[in-house]
Amino acid sequence: MSASAASLEEPRITPLGSSAILFEAPGAFDIEHQKRIWALADAATGWDMVVEAVPGMTNLMLILARPPRDLTAFEALLRAAWDTGDEKHVEPTVLELPIVYGGEGGPHLRDVAEGTGFSVAEVVRIHTEPDYTVYAVGSHAGYCYLGGLDARLFMTRRKVPLVSIPGGSLSLAGMQTGVSASAGPSGWHTIGRAEISFFDPERQPPALLKPGDVIRFKAERVIV
């Protein structure tokens, strides 16, 4: 059985090719499970042969220094560490982020309104209401995967991705929402724009936000 929108019953550990391992946590897609993933990442970072532990959305990728002959040792380490139930508690940095919703920067805002059955104004209100927690940073440099999107705004990915959306684009798909940090393709629904630098290679650390930090979206303008 594989992971689907329904959850796994127990952790699934699989090779991701010859030099990485994927750990998928059981249970719901929620902050408690994500905090356990952050703790697991911290634990794994110290293990022999682990180059990097990369949290995903209730999952963890271990990048290894060289191919292991089998997964036995890592399976044991991962299960033992997961079974501790440890959660990582992060003192969050809270970022208030002004967004211009709709218009040129948010070409799919109307599609989301139609797809969810809400008006554009309601979509914006529902979207700006919660605090969003950074679950993971990835995809491209500085990009934050955010948890906390209201279920009423869930939309499947677009059939035809956009070849390029500029950095600062606010998008959503499935249970996830996020703001891109640089120009690139996207299969998500782009609903607004922010002016901010999420990534600077000369900065230490180079990404503006880390897992556990919080974003509050503020509607600076709504273009219908």
Q: Does 49 bind other proteins (CB under 8 A)?
A: no
Q: Does 116 bind other proteins (CB under 8 A)?
A: no
Q: Does 29 bind other proteins (CB under 8 A)?
A: yes
Residue 198: exposure state from Cβ atoms within 10 A (0-12, 13-18, ≥19)? buried
The neighbouring-strand residues paired with 221 are 100
Cβ(83)–Cβ(44) below 8 Å: no
Mark the segment that binds other proteins (CB under 8 A) among 3-11, 75-83, 96-104, 113-121: 3-11
Q: Does 19 bind other proteins (CB under 8 A)?
A: yes
Side-chain-side CA neighbours of 189 within 13 Å: the count stands at 24
Q: Does 141 bind other proteins (CB under 8 A)?
A: yes
Q: Does 2 bind other proteins (CB under 8 A)?
A: yes
Among 172, 181, 215, 222, binds other proteins (CB under 8 A): 181
Q: Does 207 bind other proteins (CB under 8 A)?
A: yes
Determine the size of the site formed for other proteins (CB under 8 A). Answer: 59
Q: Where are the alpha helices (DSSP H) in the chain?
A: 31-45, 72-83, 109-116, 120-128
Radius of gyration of the chain (CA): 18
Mark the segment that binds other proteins (CB under 8 A) among 93-101, 107-115, 118-126, 203-211: 203-211
Which residues fall within 8 angstroms of residue 31, CB to CB, at 6 or more apart? 133, 135, 147
Cβ(171)–Cβ(161) below 8 Å: no
Q: Does 128 bind other proteins (CB under 8 A)?
A: no
Residues that bind other proteins (CB under 8 A): 2-5, 12, 14-20, 22, 24, 29, 41, 51-61, 63, 66-71, 136-143, 145, 156-157, 159, 174, 176, 181-184, 187, 199, 201-202, 205-207
